[in-house]
Amino acid sequence: MIERLVCLLAFLVFSSFALADDRPNFVIIMVDDMGYAGISCFGNPYFQTPEIDRLAAEGMRLTDFHSSGTVCSPTRAGLLTGRYQQRAGIEAVIHPVRSHPEHRKGLQTSEVTFAEMLQSQGYATALIGKWHQGYVHNSDDFHPQNHGFDQFIGYRSGNIDFVSHVGDHDEHDWWHGREETKEEGYVTDLINEYAIDFIEKNRDQPFCLYIPHLAIHNPVQTPGDPPRRTEDGGWNRWKPADSDERIEKYRGMTLPIDQGVGQIRQTLIELGLDRKTLVLFFSDNGAANDFPSGSPGLRGNKGSVYEGGHKVPFIAWWPGRIAAGSKSDVPAITLDVMPTLLSLAGVQSPVDRRLDGVDLSPVLLRRQTLRSRPLFWASLSNNGGRSEAMRDGPWKLVVRHPGAAKGSFENERLELYRLDQDPAEETNLADQHLDQAAQMLARLKEWYADTQRTATPQLGGWPG
């Protein structure tokens, strides 16, 4: 009898390890400030991105995918938590200037990230690249290793010089965990190198690797360029001599990302992990003004609640599970990443909070549609200007506040568009469809009020 119990226990232990080994790995690649047409498989007319295109050819493109924010910090908070970033109290860029109203904010330890949930179930986790969820000199609670990441190599500010590694707060900002590390190298190359190293070292266990790239965010620097920002000399901003130089810099900053995607893909294949690894590729917001990475058919850029501010490219790759060359126009958002990862890993969502995102695996794996749902945006600029938007089927409501006090919702100006007929948001239909605009405005306000009822308290902020 005892021998049978011992054998049964050994079988259960072995089975649990076998089950763990069958769980998928995840590689989440998020580029910075790349608009909808930043890569050639989404319409880049200036140059080819062959490795990213290969990922798309072997996987699925989502052609109606959106960031939850129109700038970096908010999108990252929403991505990490699977909830609208307003619930975490992060509505704007966490600003480098210490006197700025948004400077002292950060991701509080009361939030629950996808990394924490996967880590708790035995996943090895790493963040290699950009954090921008709070300056650690304000609180150590903001450090990424307090949010589920076993390993952190990268920078904590909003951007750093690609060569000197001096951040937007004029301090050196390159770290291995909690240790400031002076090492030479072009940032994109370093991120690629450490990403491959993490995959190789964790090949024998399930892992989740989050790669938030610095590129193609400024400073504008390509491999071989000199530093543009130093701790003593400040930031010498790049100014293009002509349009040809602008495109050459754009190309020079994008292709190292493309090469890194190819290296990751090849490493997964060589290690025999390609058929058990989901790779996602997308951007944190629409195109910045440095480069023409946005689609000419979309209105607005980074910081805008028009489509060009948040509609971004998305690719999912998982050989044997995702049909090669497939495409879906199902509307989706960065908030959907967390519930998708948890579902595929067999991990229950947090029991004490409802996720705003939904599981995309029926779309990715079975090419199904999703139940229709509204999507919301609320943008807060560095200067305290607000704008909001709501998407409901083909309808898009845009709310602007011209001349309003900083941080306030005064002076509402409504715009209403039919995206199926007017994807460029050129014809405002608000006056012709008053009831539709009023109904959507009421739902938008209720959504925002709901996010604020239990929003995580933060220091600072605009007076509103």
Diameter of the chain measured on Cα atoms: 83
DSSP 8-state assignment for residue 452: H
Mean pLDDT for the chain overall: 95
User: pLDDT (tens digit, 9 = 90+) per residue, 261-295?
Assistant: 999 999 999 999 999 999 999 999 999 999 999 99
* Residue 8 confidence class, pLDDT cut points 50, 70, 90: very low
* Residue 5 confidence class, pLDDT cut points 50, 70, 90: very low
Tokens matching residue 343: 């579902």
132 tagged catalytic: yes
- Do the domains 24-366 and 375-453 sit in the same CATH topology, yes or no? no
Please compute the mean of the pLDDT values over residues 168-189 and round it to a whole number: 97
72 tagged catalytic: yes
Q: What is the pLDDT, as a whole number, of residue 1?
A: 37
For residues 279 and 27, give the distance between their C-alpha atoms in angstroms, rounded to a whole number.
5
Q: What is the pLDDT, as a whole number, of residue 21?
A: 64
Q: Are 121 and 347 in contact (CB under 8 A)?
A: yes
Residue in 72, 103, 165, 217 annotated catalytic: 72
User: Hey, where are the domains in the chain?
Assistant: 24-366, 375-453
Reported pTM: 0.95
22 - beta bridge partners?
none
What is the dihedral sign for C-alpha 335, 344, 283, 99? positive
User: pLDDT (tens digit, 9 = 90+) per residue, 90-122?
Assistant: 999 999 999 999 999 999 999 999 999 999 999
CATH (residue range 375-453): 3.30.1120.10
Q: Which CATH number fits domain 24-366: 3.30.70.141, 3.10.180.10, 3.40.1400.10, 3.40.720.10?
A: 3.40.720.10
Whether residue 343 is predicted with pLDDT greater than 80 in this model: the reply is yes
Q: What is the pLDDT, as a whole number, of residue 356?
A: 98
DSSP string, 381-440: -TTS-EEEEEEETTEEEEEE-TTPPTT---S-EEEEEETTT-TT--S--TTT-HHHHHHH
Q: What is the pLDDT, as a whole number, of residue 11?
A: 39
User: pLDDT (tens digit, 9 = 90+) per residue, 12-65?
Assistant: 443 344 344 699 999 999 999 999 999 999 999 999 999 999 999 999 999 999
Residue in 66, 95, 103, 132 annotated catalytic: 132
Q: What is the pLDDT, as a whole number, of residue 377?
A: 98
